[in-house]
Amino acid sequence: MSWQRGINLKSERELAIMRRAGRINALALLAAINVAEIGATTAKIDAAAAKVLENHAVKPAFLGYPGAYPFPAVTTISINEELVHGIPGDRKLQDGDIVSIDCGSILEGFVADSALTIGIGRISPEAQELIDTTMNALFIGIDQMQIGNRTGDISSAIQSFVEGKGFNVVREYTGHGVGRKMHEDPQVPNYGTAGKGVDLKPGMTIALEPMVLTGVKETRVQKDQWTVSSKDSGLTAHFEHTVAVTRNGPEILTTLDPDLDGPEAFRYNGYFVGRAQAAQE
């Protein structure tokens, strides 16, 4: 059917490239969170991620990304009520902030895209619950990425989990196919109906990215024409992995490798290895 034509299925060889791109992207996020502390500027966090990409001779996917004007940094960094697409700069992190960092890498023409939200210093119980809910929503969505399921099964699982916790999912921004381009078909919203949408097939690669709001689901774009904030200024969080649909189930591509990266791979509640693996440690 014509609406499926935009979906690029990846070969084993292409998945191997995306796996390498994904690990480097994860290393960039790890470097970013290692410098994200009280008093650090968001520009410093961006520079830490940029350095990792440069060291691995990988092209940043976000730098120059077309919009109202080309995106001016390697990462997007979004604080508190800012949901996505925040521009790194001279803003300093404060005790109690929650910070979402999103990064994209291009290796041999293939894109990896991942994001996470962390707390700075002591954060409120509500902020912690928001972060935990959003990360769990990501893994609940990934669990649905099985052959025989449809994109609506993913969307519906994320939405019902998040709403069950009393939070909202964003409507205007969605998960997406990823690989040869940063945004490919299919779109995978964080809301939807089980059994609807596109059939999942081996070789599909999807950047799944729950974006969760404590308040209303509506957003607004700030004056800088990039930063997206919650309309009511309620707290927001964002987690993302690039995931392949395979005959053996979902494979998260934007992970660290404990054999290569050591104990650091198990940081941050298993985000970097996929939660299921972390639980076995």
What angle, rounded to 10 degrees, do the helices at 125-143 and 151-164 form? 160
The residue (of 180 and 279) whose beta carbon lies closer to Mg ion is 180
Residue 18 interacts with Mg ion (CB under 5 A): yes or no: no
The residue (of 25 and 156) whose beta carbon lies closer to Mg ion is 25
| Residue 125 neighbours by CB under 8 Å, 6+ apart | none
Residue 115 interacts with Mg ion (CB under 5 A): yes or no: yes
Site for Mg ion in 137-176 (CB under 5 A): none
The residue (of 82 and 102) whose beta carbon lies closer to Mg ion is 102
Tokens of 280: 């076995």
Interface residue with Mg ion, options 207, 235, 253, 256 (CB under 5 A):
207
- Could you give the CA distance from residue 123 to residue 84 in angstroms, rounded to a whole number? 20
Which one-letter DSSP state was computed for residue 62?
A: S
Minimum CB–partner distance for residue 174 and Mg ion (Å): 9
> How distant is the alpha carbon of residue 151 from its chain centre?
17
The residue (of 185 and 248) whose beta carbon lies closer to Mg ion is 185
Q: Total number of residues binding Mg ion (CB under 5 A)?
A: 5
Residue with tokens 């109202």: 68
Backbone phi, then psi, for 111, in 5-degree steps?
-105, 140
What angle, rounded to 10 degrees, do the helices at 12-35 and 42-55 form? 140
Q: Which stretch binds Mg ion (CB under 5 A): 34-42, 113-121, 166-174, 185-193?
A: 113-121
Q: Which stretch binds Mg ion (CB under 5 A): 29-37, 98-106, 149-157, 230-238?
A: 98-106
Minimum CB–partner distance for residue 125 and Mg ion (Å): 27
Which residue, among 200, 236, 244, has the nearest Cα to 219 in the 3D structure?
236
Q: Which stretch binds Mg ion (CB under 5 A): 15-23, 145-153, 213-221, 238-246?
A: 238-246
Interface residue with Mg ion, options 113, 184, 185, 251 (CB under 5 A):
113
CB 278 within 8 A of CB 40: no
Tokens of 146: 């099985």
Which residue, among 191, 209, 210, 188, has the nearest Cα to 199 in the 3D structure?
188
Interface residue with Mg ion, options 14, 46, 81, 102 (CB under 5 A):
102
Q: Which stretch binds Mg ion (CB under 5 A): 35-43, 63-71, 105-113, 133-141?
A: 105-113
Minimum CB–partner distance for residue 211 and Mg ion (Å): 10
The residue (of 114 and 168) whose beta carbon lies closer to Mg ion is 114
Residues found in the chain: 281
Q: Which stretch binds Mg ion (CB under 5 A): 112-120, 184-192, 226-234, 242-250?
A: 112-120
The residue (of 63 and 96) whose beta carbon lies closer to Mg ion is 63
By the 10 Å C-beta count (0-12 exposed, 13-18 middle, 19+ buried), 262 is classed as exposed
Given the rule CB under 5 A, which residues bind Mg ion? 102, 113, 115, 207, 240
